[in-house]
Structure 1
Amino acid sequence: MNLSVNKKVAYIGCLGVIGIISTEFGVIGILPQIAEYYHINIGTAGYLLSLFALTIALTGPFMVLYASRFDKKKIMLYALGLFLISNVGSAFSPPFWLLMVLRILPTILHPAFFSMAIAAAGKDASPQIQMRLTSIIIGGIALAQVTLIPFTTFIASIYAWQFSYVIQALVILFTLAILYKGLPAMPNTEEKSFKNQLSILKRPKFIAGTGLNLFLITAWFCSYSYFADYLSKAMGLTDPQISYMLLLFGVMGVISNYLAGRLLGKYMISTTLFFLAGTFLMPFAFQYVTPSFFNISLVVGFWGVMYGPCFLIGVGYMVSAAQDAKEFANSLQTSFGNLGVSLGTATGGWFISYYGIAVTPWVGIGFGLLALVMILWRAWLDRV
């Protein structure tokens, strides 16, 4: 595969990630409205995010091992098809239990999409080019946060939360058409045994990278999962103002994700330590800022910069320790990343129920410390 084809796969993969992530994380901006509509508390509404992520964590590696034997293009199409069904069904505001089922449905192939896209884009490329191409695909997470998520939150604030699902469905339908027409068939040409792929689970470097991925994402999602509720109740912002903050958060995340993609290949440890520092600094920034719109914007911008590359960092650490089983490593990154989303959301929700929404930014510090331990362990392993 030549570099131009690699880039084409990466950009189409990025477009797919935008649709997928807007479905997964777009619910964050409308959680208060969903809670009000179904007459449930915010913690219960948070299950729409945490159970989505937990299901991916539990099923992802097995589904990717199974799906890796099939044509990558077909798996990516099937994955987006499930997300389309999920969004269309959710737009009709079904009973809460059915809304939950529709949320969980596309998790079956969620990790497979990421794994297939990253593996296809990085085929026959050097490790440094692979990281840049991966940053394009993972950049879809940040782009979703700067485009669809704030836009759908803004539309939901004007009309109703159901409209966010309509918009997401249209974007995924468009992506399906681009993927179908834009990519050639990508059949599996290299049979890998399950035993060889599972062997990466015994490698200390891979274990350290997995731990970092889990704890770093957990640290961020203790607070990010309740972004809208925190800015509304603790900072006093209106719904339109929160949509602007989501836009700012996403813009800064896109910038930092791009920079991290350039730096991680050369300075993995120092780059990771820099962005990890945000989990310790962000709570103090919110604690001591005066609650004006401008000052809150500065803190949210800082939050977006520090949060932006967390998924890319996880990919970098885990795949670098498993070059011989990239698809499986990518699936584990997605699974443990979503386990972090679920654990962070559940932990944040528990603290909110006992101590109130104002405690949210402080909850992730403990997980940040655990992530620091994993970084230092990996640095030690790289030297021995």
Structure 2
Amino acid sequence: MKKYAYIGSLGFIAVITTEFGIIGILPQVAEYYKISIDEAGYLLSAFALVIALTGPFMTLFTSGIDRKKIMTAAILMFLFTGIVSSFSPSFWLLMIVRILPAFLQPVYIATALSVAVSGSESTNKNELMSIVFSGVAIAMVTTVPFATWVSGLYSWEYSFMIQAAISLIALLIIHFFLPPMPVSEKKSFGSQVSILKQPPFILSTLTNFFMITAWFSTYSYFADYLGKAKGMDTAMVSYMLFLFGAVGIIANRVAGKMLNKNVTATLAFFLSGTVLIPILLSVSDENALATVIVIGIWGFLYSPSFLNASTYMISAAPDSLEFANSLATSFGNLGVTLGTTIGGWIIITQGVEYTPWIGFVFGILAFLMMIMRNVFEKGEKFFSGSVKQM
């Protein structure tokens, strides 16, 4: 039902505002705690690493629990994080509080997607998933840039207050508008874990991992990159985040319709941005208008990446939607961790202007994984056809 998809999307806004809202305020956080920008980046990479390491297991362990209860518990944890973080605790406590909701983030995403597509026709499942994932782009166009803008006017703590407010709204909507949804049939662990033995799924997972690593090597330091490489102030960065998210909303809807027609071609189209954007950013140099145009293209090609990755992985394991999606979330966040870590290292050793070229390298690796899956599947069809003829 579309109603459930929109509720899932609202919760996704709260989730993304908490996870990625830190991106716009990293320079301020680093200055406040007297640490380097790459150390401040741990607030993002540690969050993503916890998701990467625990996501599939948490999804398996909670797969038999009422879906409404799972979604409520997850958003409640995000609310708690926003409130405590807004009091500017010591850095180690801020890190711990940031990590806590990461344990339930992939569970929320997998559950929200499952709820959205439950009872729907197979022909429009990707479109319903795109509605849920549009929460990513909506957060990028509303709450994330707004939190960055407010933090520029006042202080970085206000960013977390906004995160808490969004989580509270999502919590109330889920509580009052989503009916109890007990799980009627719990799939066995063995039946779900068996997808890890399938080469197409493994190659799809590596495609996801390399693609997200490519994007986040630069995007994790969006504010720092635009400030130092392009000479933009905090207010201008918030406008760029707004532009980034605005085109992202359109991109998610476009991607949802494209995925219904051809999953592989859609992923390849949007993945091309990992190779194209570094070149365009280099060519635009410090030309303000050219940079704005490139950021618009960047936002369009980046925004559906999580939707595309999940759909691509699910297409290799259609009977294990929730577990496949949790793995997509897990390896995607592992990519966030690696991209953020390498990006921070490059900033310290070479300079922030070099970070987009990391994305170029990992983007090529992602394309290679796609080609390998395509070759493998064609080979499987060829051999299965030969066996049948014998």
- In structure 2, runs of 5+ residues without a counterpart are 382-390
Deviation string 1:41-97 (CA, Å, 9 cap, x unpaired) is 000000000000000000111110011110000000000000011110000000000
- Residue 228 of structure 1 and its aligned partner are, at CA, apart by 0.2
Return 41-50 or 357-366, whichever deviates more. Answer: 357-366
Say if 2:340 is the partner of 1:345: yes
C-alpha offsets along residues 189-215 of structure 1, whole Å, 9 cap, x if unaligned? 012110111001111121121111111
* 1:363 alignment partner, SS class: helix
Question: What does residue 133 of structure 1 align with?
Answer: 128
Q: TM-score scaled by structure 1?
A: 0.97
Q: Quick one: distance in 1 between partners of 2:184 and 2:166?
A: 31
Question: Aligned partners of 2:140 and 2:333: how far apart in 1?
Answer: 17
For residue 61 of structure 1, what is the aligned residue in structure 2? 56
Per-residue deviation, 1:293: 2.6
Structure 1 residues 361 and 73, CA gap change in structure 2 (3 angstroms): same
1:128 Cα offset (Å): 2.8
Q: What's the secondary structure of 1:364's corresponding residue?
A: helix
Match of 2:148 in 1: 153
1:196 aligned partner: 191
1:16-37 C-alpha deviation (Å, 9 max, x unpaired): 0001101000100000000000
Return the offset for 1:381.
Answer: 3.5
Q: Does 1:41 align with 2:41?
A: no
Task: Name the structure 1 match of 2:304.
Answer: 309
2:169 to 145, 170, 174: 174
CA distance in 1, matches of 2:181, 2:13: 22
1:356 aligns with 2:356: no
User: Structure 2 length normalisation: TM-score?
Assistant: 0.95
Structure 1 residue aligned with 2:245, among 221, 243, 250?
250
In the alignment, the residues of structure 2 paired with residue 49 and residue 251 of structure 1 have an alpha-carbon distance, to the nearest angstrom, of 23
- Corresponding position: 1:13 with 2:22: no
CA separation of 1:290/1:196 partners in 2, compared to 1, >3 Å: closer, same or farther? closer
Between 69-78 and 257-266, report the one with greater CA deviation: 257-266
The alpha-carbon deviation at position 247 of structure 1 amounts to: 0.3
Matched, 1:86 2:86: no
Q: Could you say what secondary structure the match of 2:319 adopts?
A: helix
Query: What is the match of residue 3 of structure 1?
Result: none
1:105 is aligned, of 79, 100, 111, to 100
Aligned AA (1:180): H
CA shift for structure 1 position 290: 4.4
Q: Aligned to 1:235, what secondary structure does the other structure show?
A: coil
Q: Which residue identity does 2:137 align to in structure 1?
A: A
Letter aligned with residue 374 of structure 1: M
Match of 1:186, SS state, is coil
Matching of residue 279 in structure 1 with residue 274 in structure 2? yes
Q: Deviations over 1:146-175 (max 9, x none)?
A: 010000000000000000110110111011
Q: Does 1:74 align with 2:69?
A: yes
**1:298 maps to 2:282:** no
The farther-off stretch of 357-366 and 19-28 is: 357-366
Q: Which amino acid is the alignment partner of residue 11 of structure 2?
A: G
User: Are residues 1:227 and 2:222 paired?
Assistant: yes
**What is the distance in 2 between the residues matched to 1:272 and 1:197?**
24
Distance between the aligned counterparts of 1:308 and 1:128, measured in 2?
23
- 2:213–2:338 CA contact under 8 A, matched in 1: yes
State yes or no: 1:371 paired with 2:366.
Answer: yes
1:361-384: per-residue Cα shift (whole Å, max 9, x none)? 111111111100111122223433
Letter in 2 for 1:216: M
Indicate the residue corresponding to 2:113 in structure 1.
Answer: 118
Shift in Å, 1:236:
0.4
* Matched residue type, 2:204: G
Quickly say closer, same or farther: Cα 1:205–1:128, change in 2 above 3 A. Answer: farther
Gap runs ≥5 in structure 1? 1-5
Q: Percent identity?
A: 51
Per-residue CA deviations over 1:228-254 (Å, capped at 9, x if unaligned) read 000001110011000000000111111
Name whichever of 286-295 and 6-15 sits farther off. 286-295
Do the aligned partners of residues 27 and 302 (structure 1) sit closer, same or farther apart at CA in structure 2, a change above 3 Å counting?
same
Aligned residue number for residue 185 of structure 1: 180
Distance 1:147 1:240 in 2: 14
Answer whether contact 2:26 2:37 (CA < 8 A) is retained.
yes
Name whichever of 149-158 and 286-295 sits farther off.
286-295
Instruction: Choose which of 254, 260, 265 in structure 2 pairs with 1:270.
Output: 265
Superposition deviation, residue 294 in structure 1: 1.8
2:324 equivalent among 314, 325, 329: 329
Aligned-CA RMSD value = 1.0
Moved over 6 A (4+): none
- Cα drift, residue 268 of structure 1: 1.9
Which one is further off, 119-128 or 91-100?
119-128
- State the Cα deviation string for residues 270-312 of structure 1 (Å, max 9, x = none): 2222111111111111111142332211111011011111101
Report the equivalent of 2:384. Answer: none
Q: Distance in 1 between matches of 2:198 and 2:120?
A: 24
